C-alpha cells in the first residue's frame, strides 16, 4: 500500500507562524495595527528570500519601495513647507534631500530595529545583508509605502511625527540649514533694523572650546547659541531667534 505524502500545512504565500508572530511584535512596538498584514510582510521581504522560496509565491518589497519613496518625499516636503515659511525653494530642496537620503533612512531604520525583521535569503544573510545600508534604507521606504496603502497618508504623517519630524525640530539636519540667512531674510521683510552677532562667553579647555554667541536686533536680544565654533554658535543663536520671532507672530 502506497504511503501518503506528508501534508504541507503552510499555504502558498503565507509566512511561517514564527515570522507572523515576529511581525505582530513589531506592530506592537510601533503601536500600529495593519489592516492588511500581508502588506507589512511584503515590505520586509527581500528579493533574495523570494528567490529561495519560489514555490511559495512570495512578493518582494521593490514596488513598495518605489511607492514609499514618493510618499516620503511628499510628506517631508509638506512638513518643511509649512514649518519654514521663510525658506527658499533651494533651501527646502537641500534640507529635504538631507532628510530622505540613504544615511538618514538607515538611522531611522536602525532606531526602529527594522533590520532584525527583514526576510532574507541564506546567501544574503551570510554576507551581512541585514545590516547593509542600502537594504535598510529600502526597507524603511517600503514600510512607508505599505503603511500608505494600508491606512492612508494621515497615518504615514502620524508615524513620521514620532520617528522623523522631531529630529528636524532638534536640529539634526542643521548642518545643511543656513539659519543666519533665513533670519536676515525674515528681518528684512519687516524692515526691523540690523542684526548683530556677539561672542559673550567662551567655555572649556582650549582643545574643547565652546563659544556662546548672542544675536540682537536693534540692541534687543533675540537668541543665544552655543557651539564648538563661532559659526556653529551663530547658527544656533539665529535658529532660536527665528523661533522666537515666529512665536511672537503666532501670539
Residues carrying an active site annotation: 69, 141
Name the packing angle between helices 153-163 and 133-151 (round to 10°).
140
**Measured distance CA(232)–CA(193) in Å, rounded:** 23
Cα–Cα nearest to 99, from 72, 78, 81: 72
Contact 102, 137 (CB under 8 A): yes
Unique residue bearing C-alpha cell 533590520: 115
Amino acid at each position: 500500500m502506497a504511503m501518503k505524502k506528508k501534508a504541507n500545512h503552510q499555504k502558498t504565500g503565507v509566512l511561517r507562524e514564527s515570522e507572523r508572530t515576529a511581525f505582530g511584535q513589531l506592530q506592537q512596538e510601533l503601536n500600529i495595527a495593519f489592516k492588511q498584514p500581508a502588506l507589512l510582510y511584503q515590505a520586509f521581504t527581500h528579493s533574495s528570500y523570494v528567490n529561495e522560496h519560489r514555490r511559495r509565491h512570495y512578493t518582494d518589497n521593490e514596488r513598495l519601495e518605489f511607492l514609499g519613496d514618493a510618499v516620503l518625499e511628499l510628506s517631508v516636503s509638506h512638513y518643511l513647507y509649512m514649518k519654514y515659511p521663510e525658506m527658499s525653494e533651494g533651501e527646502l530642496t537641500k534640507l529635504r534631500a538631507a532628510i530622505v537620503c540613504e544615511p538618514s533612512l538607515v538611522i531611522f531604520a536602525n532606531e526602529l530595529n527594522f533590520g532584525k525583521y527583514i526576510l532574507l535569503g541564506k546567501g544574503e544573510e551570510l554576507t551581512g545583508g541585514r545590516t547593509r545600508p542600502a537594504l535598510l534604507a529600502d526597507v524603511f521606504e517600503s514600510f512607508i509605502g505599505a503603511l500608505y496603502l494600508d491606512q492612508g497618508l494621515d497615518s504615514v504623517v502620524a508615524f513620521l511625527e514620532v520617528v522623523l519630524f522631531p529630529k528636524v525640530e532638534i536640529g539634526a539636519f542643521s548642518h545643511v540649514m543656513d539659519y543666519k540667512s533665513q533670519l536676515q531674510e525674515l528681518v528684512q521683510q519687516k524692515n526691523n533694523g540690523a542684526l548683530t552677532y556677539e561672542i559673550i562667553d567662551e567655555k572649556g579647555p582650549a582643545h574643547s572650546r565652546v563659544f556662546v554667541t548672542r544675536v540682537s536686533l536693534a540692541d534687543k536680544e533675540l537668541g543665544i547659541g552655543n557651539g564648538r565654533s563661532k559659526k556653529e554658535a551663530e547658527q544656533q543663536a539665529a535658529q532660536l531667534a527665528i523661533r522666537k520671532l515666529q512665536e511672537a507672530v503666532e501670539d
